[in-house]
Amino acid sequence: MDEAQSVIIDGEKVAIAETFEVIDPARGEPFARCPAATPAHLDAAVAAARRAFPAWAAASLDERAERLNRIADAVEADKEALAVLLSSEQGKPRASALGEIGAAIGWMRATAALRPPVEVIQDDDKLRIEVHRKPLGVVASITPWNHPVLIATWHIMPALMAGNCVVVKPSSFTPLSTLRLVELANAHLPPGVLNSVTGEGGLGRAMTGHPGIDKVVFTGSTPTGRNIMSNAANTLKRLTLELGGNDAAIVLPDADVDAIAPVIFAKSFGNSGQTCAALKRLYVHESLHDALAEKLAALARAARVGPASDPESQFGPLQNKAQFDLVRELADDARAQGGKFLAGGAANGEKGYFFPLTVVTEVSDGMRIVDEEQFGPILPIIRYSDVEDALARANASENGLGGSIWSSDIKRAEALARRLDCGTAWVNDHSSISPAAPFGGAKQSGIGVEFGHWGLEEYMQVQTVRIAR
């Protein structure tokens, strides 16, 4: 079994005797151990971050940016080893792991280029009013298991760029790549500016109620988001919550089936469907339904699902047993209710949490496969005849992360896209994001946004300065 990585507190690797197992999802067996930090370690990490905060907050934006760029260089130099670690614990094929790390490096550099605005509201002979933005203090980052390196980057880098110090706690399913990321970053940061803690159960909750933490940034499930919000209320912590989605896509009758099928396939099944803004409900006009469903099924049947150790693998397993069991349950429920499986539908009993890419038709709203976030490689296709009805069904969800319209008539598609109740609406695309554009959820998909200056400002307190003349 691999050597345990170390948590980093106050710039130092801390030896922790207690460890927990990290499972290789391709085998369903442990392959490494990870340190199990205690509440005392968390207290030490928060105290170190608080000590480091005044000097880090006072550092110039250019100095902070330079350090972020050096971290990006360090991750670039280490990316092959980091990709092995990421694939081992998350299950994604090596090329996908390298893609995730490449995206993280790009995001680091883009974040380093951000500068918070200073606004002048009034400037006359009586009064000058300026609006400034100041860092908040100590930020707790709690990350999930689907894109551990990229999501930790999305949390940590803008928090640091804004002048905050950070304590990051990765998911206990995928802690190792984050520990490595924090170690690489610490070589380019003053001690205490970025700290890591890892542990199963309880540690995240301790962070969200910790009096020394000013803000929590969390990506994960909506139920955990609700818990965090209520637990953070006592100390009125600032929150950014990026929660679950059940994104709908609507294909209009004039869409070009051949052109859109590969894009819809990639946006539904990338990372084996384990992406918050993956396309999860596909509403297709009855005139195109059979043709598009068959094309998607053919792509799914041809895809190679396998372990990261096989260079031919295009899609990995589900990351953990609970997620595997949920996907199986949703497929069985759809089957029991008359769902027709054009591809996949059942695990073949091999070792690990592998589930084939699955396309299911003859399903509708009111069934679990459509109403619940599957977070796995299973795409329900729902036939519709009236666009207004499809739009109403797309919007009839407590989630509101993303949504998309697919059509050859861009003007009409854009008008419909803007009527989707969600944080990001795409036309002839889905789930694509960029570091300059804000991303966040409407309704119960979250609070606040990430990326661009909007994301940076989430890590800052507005301060109005009024100068009487």
185, 168 Cβ separation under 8 angstroms:
no
- Tokens at residue 186, please? 């610490």
From its phi and psi, is residue 10 left (phi > 0), alpha (psi between -120 and 50) or beta? Answer: left
Q: Which residues, other chains included, contact 319 with Cβ-Cβ below 8 Å and sequence gap of 6+?
A: 25, 90, 91, 145, 146, 173, 174, 274, 353
Binding ligand NDP (rule: CB under 6 A), the pick from 276, 318, 342, 394 is: 276
**343: contact with ligand NDP by CB under 6 A:** no
Query: Is 171 among the residues that bind ligand NDP (CB under 6 A)?
Result: yes
Distances in Å between the alpha carbon of 61 and those of 70, 275, 399?
14, 32, 36
158 binds ligand NDP (CB under 6 A): no
Q: Which stretch binds ligand NDP (CB under 6 A): 70-78, 216-224, 232-240, 350-358?
A: 216-224
Question: Pairing state of beta strands 12-14 and 442-443?
Answer: unpaired
Ranges within 17-36 binding ligand NDP (CB under 6 A): none
CA atoms of 37 and 48, how far apart (whole Å) = 15
Tell me if 146 contacts ligand NDP by CB under 6 A.
Answer: yes
How would you class 243 by CB atoms within 10 Å of its CB: exposed for 0-12, middle for 13-18, buried for 19 or more? Answer: buried
Task: Say how many C-beta atoms besides its own lie within 10 A of residue 445's C-beta.
Answer: 28
Q: Which of 141, 172, 268, 428 is the binder for ligand NDP (CB under 6 A)?
A: 172
Cβ closer to ligand NDP: 269 or 406? 269
Residue of 91, 148, 192, 204 that binds ligand NDP (CB under 6 A): 204
Q: Does 220 interact with ligand NDP (rule: CB under 6 A)? A: yes
Choice from 19, 38, 227, 314 touching ligand NDP (CB under 6 A): 227
Residue owning tokens 């199990």:
36
177 interacts with ligand NDP by CB under 6 A: no
* Binder of ligand NDP out of 224, 313, 407, 444 (CB under 6 A): 224
In which element (H, E) is residue 149 found? helix 148-161
User: What is the nearest approach in angstroms of ligand NDP to the Cβ of residue 423?
Assistant: 12
Structure tokens at 342: 């054009």
Coil, strand or helix at 153: helix
Among 17, 40, 125, 201, binds ligand NDP (CB under 6 A): 201
Residue 438: phi and psi, rounded to 5, are -65, 145
> Beta-carbon neighbour count of residue 149 at 10 Å?
27
Which residue is at the shortest CB distance from ligand NDP?
Answer: 204
- Enzyme catalytic residues: 242, 276
* Contact status, residue 39 vs residue 210, Cβ threshold 8 Å: no
Given 5, 208, 404, 428, the residue binding ligand NDP (CB under 6 A): 208
| Site stretch for ligand NDP (CB under 6 A), options 22-30, 101-109, 131-139, 196-204 | 196-204
Of 66, 73, 200, 429, which lies in the binding site for ligand NDP, with binding defined by CB under 6 A? 200
The residue range among 198-206, 232-240, 358-366, 451-459 that interacts with ligand NDP, by the rule CB under 6 A, is 198-206
x-marked contacts with ligand NDP along 366-405 as a string, rule CB under 6 A: -------x-x------------------------------
Among 323, 424, 431, 444, binds ligand NDP (CB under 6 A): 323
- What CA–CA distances, in Å, run from 254 to 285, 381, 387, 465? 9, 17, 12, 55
- Give one DSSP letter per residue of 261-315, joined into a string: HHHHHHHHHGGGG--TTSEEEEEEETTTHHHHHHHHHHHHHH--B--TTSTT-SB
Radius of gyration of the chain from its Cα atoms, rounded to whole angstroms: 23
Q: Which stretch binds ligand NDP (CB under 6 A): 57-65, 101-109, 204-212, 284-292?
A: 204-212
3-class DSSP string for 58-96: HCCHHHHHHHHHHHHHHHHHCHHHHHHHHHHHHCCCHHH
Residues 84-143 binding ligand NDP (CB under 6 A) are: 142-143
How many amino acids of this chain bind ligand NDP (CB under 6 A)? 27
Asked if residue 358 binds ligand NDP (CB under 6 A), the reply is: no
Per CB under 6 A, 153 contacts ligand NDP: no
Q: Out of 25, 93, 116, 144, which residue is the one contacting ligand NDP (CB under 6 A)?
A: 144
In the bound state with ligand NDP, the residue whose beta carbon lies nearer, of 222 and 407, is 222
Q: How far is CA 167 from CA 35, 109, 138, 207, 338, in A?
A: 15, 21, 7, 9, 48
Q: Which is nearer to ligand NDP, 407 or 444 (CB)?
A: 444
Stretch that binds ligand NDP, among 11-19, 101-109, 221-229, 430-438 (CB under 6 A): 221-229
Asked if 228 interacts with ligand NDP (CB under 6 A), we say yes
Tell me the closest approach of the beta carbon of residue 133 to ligand NDP, in angstroms.
27
Contacts to ligand NDP by CB under 6 A = 142-146, 169, 171-173, 200-201, 204-205, 208, 219-221, 224, 227-228, 242-244, 276, 323, 373, 375
